[in-house]
């Protein structure tokens, strides 16, 4: 073996574990599943999220830094030649914070006007990860359309972080708690 091959294998041997273990340490967020249903003249959405804050983010929360997340959802009518026509949209604001004095985690859902307290981080994150019966739109504004497309994503509100953390939150992968858009389809007759 020549020196170049040995060096490239050595670099790959170091890089692969860093990528595998680094991803777990970084955390991340994604939308796992969305279910829409028409009830009482409205479209209600249930969503399951995967929110995994990394060690750096958890340490910041233990030092009184709150995480503010926004769940954004749209329902649009797809068009071939133009942008999709947005028919309905909504935002759900969530906050996760740690209270050192009581050693509890608090989840606040500003949209539902609810606050829940948990003794451990996993219970708080599980609570944030389940959105149930979110009234997204009136059915009359969507009814009669052949095809409807829904999309949802989660993003970290960087502007709610303290000023010294805002720039690192924009460039450091450990703070990348924003997801890609998750797409789902709705029928003009009933939600799937």
The token duo for 112 is 């539902």
Q: What is the pLDDT of residue 192?
A: 41
Return the number of other C-beta atoms located less than 10 Å from residue 184's C-beta: 20
pLDDT band of residue 104 (cuts 50, 70, 90) is very high
Q: What is the pLDDT of residue 187?
A: 63
pLDDT band of residue 94 (cuts 50, 70, 90) is very high
Name the average pLDDT for the chain. Answer: 82
Q: Tell which residue, 75, 79, 47, has the closest CA to residue 140.
A: 75
Q: What is the pLDDT of residue 27?
A: 60
Q: Tell which residue, 89, 97, 43, has the closest CA to residue 69.
A: 97
Q: What is the pLDDT of residue 22?
A: 38
Q: Is the pLDDT of residue 25 over 50?
A: no
Q: What contacts 134, CB < 8 A, 6 or more positions away? A: 44, 45, 46, 47, 73, 90, 92, 111
**Residue 74 near residue 151 (C-beta atoms within 8 A):** yes
Q: Tell which residue, 69, 66, 129, has the closest CA to residue 98.
A: 66
Q: Tell which residue, 47, 45, 43, 44, has the closest CA to residue 31.
A: 47
What's the CA gap between 24 and 50, in Å, rounded? Answer: 13
pLDDT band of residue 110 (cuts 50, 70, 90) is very high
Q: Tell which residue, 173, 175, 149, 142, has the closest CA to residue 160.
A: 175
């Amino acid at each position: 073996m020549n020196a170049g091959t040995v060096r490239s294998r050595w670099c790959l041997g170091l890089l692969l574990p860093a990528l595998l273990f680094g991803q777990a340490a970084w955390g991340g967020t994604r939308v796992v599943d969305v279910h829409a249903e028409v009830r009482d003249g409205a479209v209600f959405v249930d969503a399951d999220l995967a929110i995994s804050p990394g060690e750096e983010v958890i340490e910041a929360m233990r030092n009184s830094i709150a995480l503010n997340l926004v769940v954004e959802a749209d329902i649009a009518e797809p068009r071939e030649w133009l942008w999709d026509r947005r028919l309905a949209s909504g935002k759900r604001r969530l906050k996760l914070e740690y209270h050192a004095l009581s050693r509890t985690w608090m989840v606040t859902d500003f949209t539902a006007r609810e606050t829940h307290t948990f003794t451990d981080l996993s219970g708080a994150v599980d609570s944030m990860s389940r959105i149930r019966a979110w009234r997204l739109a009136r059915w009359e504004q969507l009814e009669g359309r052949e095809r409807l497309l829904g999309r949802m994503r989660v993003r970290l509100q960087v502007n709610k972080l303290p000023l010294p953390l805002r720039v690192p939150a924009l460039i450091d992968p450990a703070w990348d708690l924003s997801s890609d858009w998750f797409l789902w389809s709705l029928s003009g007759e009933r939600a799937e």
